[in-house]
Structure 1
Amino acid sequence: MIDCLFRSRGVDGGFDVFESTDGTRSNWGPQIQHGSPPLALLTRAIERLAEDTGMRVGRLSLDILGAIPVATVKVRAWVDRPGARIALLVAEMVVDRPDGSSRTVARLTAWLLATSETADAAQDRHPPMLEGETAGATHAWEGASGYLETVEWRRQRTSPDAAFEAWLTPLVPLVDSEPTTALQRLAMVVDCANGTGAVLDPAQFVFMNTDTVVHLHRLPVGQDFGLRARASIGRDGIGVTTAEIFDRSGFIGTSAQTLLVQRQS
């Protein structure tokens, strides 16, 4: 039974150490991690570093620098560009090689911005996305084990020419049984925009994202997150999935993912 995505294993030389559980396994292959668990774990490191700064996350940008194994991983975070109104924080995930050396497999950069009172000027680009009738098949990987077991995925019925929509809810904590913040919960599912917005059959094509970039005009709240997503595929094996992101209170931001598109052999 999967009861969390990572288990804390203490500290090693400035890094927090975590054991990856079966809940991190990708639908593209059982030996590599889905993109959402690393994004969420690095977001956790950013949030902890940002405590008491008076600023909040406006953008998260994850770069996947190599295959992330389902293994022990190490995480650290630092301030790359300090500032009282604008700061850039960085978190990275490292794994050890068999020869004792290490490699960085993922890096997250986060822009933090100072908050102020702008309630009278607040506006959303999109009206709230309401949850309605659930479509028959949730996604193209129906029945896959690993990460997809840790998320309740409710695809919505939409018209044939519209973007695809789904509501997603994390079913397990991020680390052990510790409380998971709303931003971490969003990070646990937002990488699923690529699956939600898929326009290709995964039996015929691989379309793996190399990154996930999230812009937030307000912080998320709650447990449930809606994605309205659609991929665009180029003629040379490169694509992009873009998404609008919602919680139960309404529109909260956007995401974009670069895709490597290849035919299945």
Structure 2
Amino acid sequence: MSHAYFRTQPNSHAGGEELVPLPWSGSGWGEGHMRGLAVSGALARATELTVAALGRPELLPARWTLDMFRPARMQPCVASVTVVRESKRLCLVDAVLSQDDHPVARASALFLSPSESPAGAVWSGGAQPEPPPSDTPMAADQDRLYYSEGIGWGDPALAQHSGRKQVWHRAVPVVEGEQITPFQFAAGVADVMNVVSNLGANGLEFINPDVTLALVRLPRSMELGFAATDRVERDGISVGSAVVFDREGVFGTATVCGLANAQRAVDLQAFWTNGNQPRAPR
């Protein structure tokens, strides 16, 4: 795909590189805001590069937690990474995204060393969502499809209802000219959990300050989906969960917290009928 979230340039202030957001990083929550997928992707890229530098190719990412505690703006940002703990069986890494020397988001990644599974049988969940048919139409500048019961996969405007949601996503490169990795893809797109959990009849009325992704493997290709499994809400706070799947089956779970933001709700129906480009409005 020709679009990406960032391009890189030298950081004249502190050395190293900084990430300059491209238009695809823009969010529907407000002009000048950066979408969470770009924030998560930037931190995942920095985290993965750090683990690769340790020379531990056997480690697999098992858990990714993102906290977005300040609005990220459409301006240059810098990712910094700290290895909290490295041992024979795990590596725990923290990452921070900063703008103008102020942190706007942080992430924690747990990498584990795989081994042989024990022989004892253990219960496993039964959710087995179906991905969209491989020939489902998708525009060149469209990155996701929505599933609506009774309608199927397709037009995002038809997904604005109170029913349970599924979203199918394809990869968007984090940095222009770089090949996105499976981990960067999964960790970045995890922010779409807010849509999976909180898109309702009046649009998207909740904003998510976090998301957590847990994986037993990486996606097999550059497309994956989230299917909602549960949601609870009270006093303007919501918690949602989903399974993560690709064309080979379920390979993880995701959870997200939401804060009521009805005064700045994103109306998907209005967005799609006003001649906007066919991408997600956040």
- TM-score under structure 2 normalisation? 0.76
Partner of 2:17: helix, strand, or coil? strand
Quote how far apart the aligned CAs of 1:129 are: 2.6
Q: List per-residue Cα deviations over 1:95-134 (Å, max 9, x = no partner).
A: 00xxxxx210011101111122339789963464323479
Q: Distance in 1 between matches of 2:121 and 2:61?
A: 17
**In the superposition, relative to structure 1, how do residues 41 and 121 fare at CA in structure 2: closer, same or farther (>3 Å)?**
farther
Matched, 1:156 2:157: no
Aligned-pair identity in percent equals: 26
Which residue number in structure 1 is paired with residue 193 of structure 2?
193
Quote how far apart the aligned CAs of 1:242 are: 1.5
Bigger strand share: 1
Which residue number in structure 1 is paired with residue 69 of structure 2?
65
Following superposition of structure 1 onto structure 2, how do residues 133-152 of structure 1 map, counting pairs within 5 Å? 151-152=142-143
Q: Which amino acid aligns with 2:205?
A: V
Which residue number in structure 2 is paired with residue 225 of structure 1?
224
Quote how far apart the aligned CAs of 1:10 are: 2.5
Q: Distance in 1 between matches of 2:26 and 2:215?
A: 27
Answer whether contact 1:32 1:70 (CA < 8 A) is retained.
yes
Following superposition of structure 1 onto structure 2, how do residues 18-29 of structure 1 map, counting pairs within 5 Å? 18-29=19-30
Q: Distance in 2 between matches of 1:118 and 1:162?
A: 37
Answer whether contact 2:162 2:201 (CA < 8 A) is retained.
no
Answer whether contact 2:198 2:258 (CA < 8 A) is retained.
no
Following superposition of structure 1 onto structure 2, how do residues 98-113 of structure 1 map, counting pairs within 5 Å? 102-113=101-112
**In the superposition, relative to structure 1, how do residues 122 and 85 fare at CA in structure 2: closer, same or farther (>3 Å)?**
farther
Following superposition of structure 1 onto structure 2, how do residues 1-265 of structure 1 map, counting pairs within 5 Å? 3-11=3-11, 13=14, 15-51=16-52, 52-53=55-56, 54-96=58-100, 102-118=101-117, 125-126=125-126, 128-132=128-132, 151-158=142-149, 163-170=164-171, 172-201=172-201, 206-229=205-228, 232-264=231-263
Q: Which moved further from structure 2: 82-91 or 160-169?
A: 160-169
Q: How many residues are treated as equivalent by the alignment?
A: 245
Answer whether contact 1:85 1:114 (CA < 8 A) is retained.
yes
Unpaired runs of at least 5, structure 2: 151-160, 265-282
Q: Which amino acid aligns with 1:30?
A: E
Q: Distance in 2 between matches of 1:14 and 1:81?
A: 25
Quote how far apart the aligned CAs of 1:49 are: 1.2
Partner of 2:179: helix, strand, or coil? coil
Which residue number in structure 1 is paired with residue 273 of structure 2?
none
Quote how far apart the aligned CAs of 1:161 are: 8.8
Q: Which amino acid aligns with 1:117?
A: E
Q: Distance in 2 between matches of 1:122 and 1:26?
A: 45
Which residue number in structure 2 is paired with residue 143 of structure 1?
none
Answer whether contact 2:163 2:200 (CA < 8 A) is retained.
no
Quote how far apart the aligned CAs of 1:238 are: 0.7
Q: Distance in 1 between matches of 2:144 and 2:241?
A: 18
Q: Distance in 2 between matches of 1:120 and 1:34?
A: 43
Unpaired runs of at least 5, structure 1: 97-101, 139-148
Partner of 2:107: helix, strand, or coil? strand
Quote how far apart the aligned CAs of 1:230 are: 6.0
Quote how far apart the aligned CAs of 1:227 are: 0.9
Q: Distance in 2 between matches of 1:151 and 1:89?
A: 32
Answer whether contact 1:15 1:76 (CA < 8 A) is retained.
no
Cα RMSD (Å) of the superposition? 2.9
Partner of 1:46: helix, strand, or coil? helix
Q: List per-residue Cα deviations over 1:56-108 (Å, max 9, x = no partner).
A: 21100001120100110011212012222122101110100xxxxx2100111
Partner of 2:188: helix, strand, or coil? helix
Partner of 2:198: helix, strand, or coil? coil
Q: Distance in 1 between matches of 2:38 and 2:255?
A: 17
Partner of 1:131: helix, strand, or coil? coil
